Structure 1
C-alpha cells in the first residue's frame, strides 16, 4: 500500500500554514511545518527522503525562501524534492528568479483552494513518476516503445493540466473568457489542419498551447488591464510587455507544449509587415505558431464583445482579415481562412 504523500509547509505566518493544511487535509496528505528557513532546512536535512513536496514562503526574515531553495539545490540529497513557492509577489523578476533557483511552480497568496489542490496534486504526481523511474532504473531509450509512449503521455497530460490551471487563473484577472480561449484553440487547430507544412502533431500542440497566448496579462496591473478607454502611450508600453513577460516565464521549460506556449505568447502580436510587437519580426521570421494564433485570436476578438468594444458582425470581421492579408497576417493563412470560411464561422457562432 502506497504511503500518503508528506508535505512540508514553510511560512513565518502561522495562519498561512493553517489555511494551507485545512485546504489540503481532504486529500489525506501528511504534514510537517516550519515557521522559518533555518528550521525548514533542519527538518529536511534530518529526513531528506521523507518529503514529497515543499510549499515554501519567499518573504521570511533571516533566511528567505530563495536562499532556502538554493541550499536545497546544492545538496544532492534534497535537490530533487519539488518546491512550490508561496508568494504575494507576482512581478516577473521574482517569479523568474524562483524558477531559476529550482522551484517548480508558484502560488500567490491568498490561496484559492482549487488552485492549491490542483497544483499540489500535479507536482506530487510528477515527483512520484520521476521517483519511480529512478527506483527501477528505467532507460527510455532501450525500453519497448509502448513503455516510452505511456510515460511521456503521463508527462504530457500533466502539462495539459498545468496549462488548464494557468488559463483559469488568467480568466480571473482579465477579460479573456473560457469560451474565447476554447474558440482560439479550435481556430488555431483548424488553420494547422489545412496548412501544407503542418501535421496532426502541430494541430495537437496548437490546440493545447494556444490557450496560453495571453498568459502574460497576469503580470499587467489591473488598472491598465481593465481600462475601458484607450490606453495612453505609457500604458500601452506597459501592456505590450505581456508578450515578453510570458516568454520569460515559460521559456525555461523543455516540455513541448510549454515551449510552444512560450513562442505563441511571445509572437502572437507580431505582424507580417514587421510593424507588430514586441520585436518587430517580419514575414517568415515569425514562428508559424505565432502567425496562426495571431489570426485566430483577432478573428475571435472581433466577433465577440469585450468590455472596451462591441462585437463586429461576421462579414465585417471576415473583411478585416482579408484586407489585412500581407500586412497584419500571413497571406497563406488568410487564403486558408478564406477557403474554409464555413468552418471558421461555425466556431465563431458556437456557444
Structure 2
C-alpha cells in the first residue's frame, strides 16, 4: 500500500515544490520539503521517520542534487531510498550522471501531472516490494540460523548422551564407580575454570569429555583389568594400550566433544617430565586437557579405594600431588590445585 508514503521534495524554487505537492496530494502521500541540499540532509538526519522517496532538484546553490545524492548513498540508512532527479536539463550527460550517482529516474521541469504521478507511484511500489523482500530474506536467514543452531544443539546433546552411555558401559567393566566419573568431570571443569588460558567453552568441554578418559579399558582383557595384584611387565604393556586404543577409536570423529575425549584418553597418562605413556610427551607438548585430567584422575584414584589398594588420607594424597610438581604434573596446575584446594577436596569427598 503506497498511500501515506512519505515523500521529501527538495527544490530551491518554492513554486516547483508547490506544484509537485498539488499534483501528488491526489494519491494521499505525506510530504516534507527543503529549499537547499544542506537543509534536505539535515531534515533526513533529524526526522524520526524514514522517507520512502525523494524528489531532488539538480541545480541548487551550495550543495547541488548530485552532491546530496552522493551523501545519501554513502549513508547505510538512506542507501536504498529511491531518488528521482528533477531537472530542466534533458542532455544525455546530465541524465547519465544522475543514474551513475544512484538516482532511479528523472523528471524534467515543468512537470506533467500524469508523468509525475506515474513515475512516483512506480518507484514507491518498487521500493516497498524491495523492502518487503529484504525483510522476508532476513526472516528466512534468521529462521535458517535458528534451525541450524537447534540442529547443532541436538547434535551436541547426542554427543553428551553417547559419552554418558559409553562411560556407564566402561564403569560396568571396571572396579570404578559412577561417582568417580562424576568427580573427574567436576574436578576437570573446576581446573579449567581457574586456568588463565582456558574459557567457559573449555570448562564445558572438559566436563563432558573427561568421563571418557579410561574408555579404552574396555579393550583390555578382563583378567588383566581386574587383576588384584601387581601387573607383570607384559600385562602392564597390555594395560597401557588402553590409551592408544581409545584414541584410535575416538579420533575418527569430527565432533568437538568426541575429539576432546580422544585427546584426553590418549594423553592423561603422560607426565610433565616425559616419563609417561604412551608417547613419552613432555611439558607443554601434552595437551592441556590431558594435563588436567592426569592430575585430577590421580588425586581421585589416591583418595578412593580400588580393588588393588586402599584409599589414602586426603592430606597424604594432597602431599603426593604437590611433591610431584614439575615431574609428574604441570606445575601451573599444581599451583591452581593448591590455591583452590578446599574446592577440590570437597569434590573428592562427595559420595
- Fold shared per TM-score above 0.5: yes
Which residue number in structure 2 is paired with residue 235 of structure 1? 235
The residue that corresponds to 2:302 in the other structure is 302
Measure, in 2, the Cα distance between the counterparts of 1:261 and 1:337: 22
C-alpha separation in 2, matches of 1:297 and 1:143: 43
Q: Structure 1's 148 and 343: CA in aligned 2 closer, same or farther, altered over 3 A?
A: same
Aligned pairs (5 A) from 1:206-221: 206-221=206-221
For residue 114 of structure 1, what is the aligned residue in structure 2? Answer: none
CA–CA distance in structure 2, aligned partners of residues 269 and 141 of structure 1: 46
Tell me the matched-pair count: 212
1:192 Cα offset (Å): 0.1
CA distance in 2, matches of 1:141, 1:204: 28
The aligned counterpart of 1:264 is 264
Residues 63-109 of structure 1 deviation map (CA, whole Å, 9 limit, x = unaligned) = xxxxxxxxxxxxxxxxxxxxxxxxxxxxxxxxxxxxxxxxxxxxxxx
Residue 131 of structure 2 corresponds to which residue in structure 1? none
Find out whether 1:335 has 2:346 as its counterpart: no
CA–CA separation in structure 2 for the residues paired with 1:269 and 1:142:
45
SS at match of 1:228: coil
Q: Hey, what does 2:161 align to over in structure 1?
A: 161
1:284-317 per-residue CA deviation (whole Å, 9 max, x = no partner) reads 0000000000001000000000000000000000
Closer, same or farther: CA 145–177 of 1 in aligned 2, 3 Å? same
* Cα offsets for 1:202-259 (capped at 9, x unmatched): 0000000000000000000010000011000000000000000000110000000000
Q: Which residue of structure 2 lines up, in the alignment, with residue 252 of structure 1?
A: 252
Deviation at 1:143, TM superposition (A): 5.8
Question: For 1:8-51, what per-residue CA distance to the aligned partner results, in whole angstroms no more than 9, with x for missing partners?
Answer: xxxxxxxxxxxxxxxxxxxxxxxxxxxxxxxxxxxxxxxxxxxx
C-alpha change, 1:302 and 1:249, in structure 2 (3 Å) is same
Secondary structure of the residue that 1:237 maps to in structure 2? helix
Does 1:279 pair with 2:269? Answer: no
Deviations 1:321-348 (A, max 9, x none): 0000000000000000000001001101
Q: Deviations over 1:142-188 (max 9, x none)?
A: 86543322110000000011111101110111112100010011000
Q: What is the deviation of 1:141?
A: 9.0
Q: Distance in 2 between matches of 1:204 and 1:145?
A: 23
1:1-351 equivalences in 2 (<5 Å): 144-351=144-351
Separation in 2, partners of 1:182, 1:149: 28
Please give the secondary structure, in 1, of the residue aligned with 2:207.
helix
Partner Cα separation in structure 2 for residue 144 and residue 324 of structure 1: 52
Cα–Cα, structure 1 residues 244 and 141, in superposed 2: closer, same or farther, change >3 Å? farther
The Cα of 1:320 is off from its aligned counterpart by 0.3
> Tell me, what secondary structure is at the counterpart of 2:280?
coil
Q: RMSD between aligned alpha carbons?
A: 1.4
Runs of 4+ more than 6 Å apart? none
Residue 281 and residue 208 in structure 1: after superposition, are their counterparts in 2 closer, same or farther (change >3 A)?
same
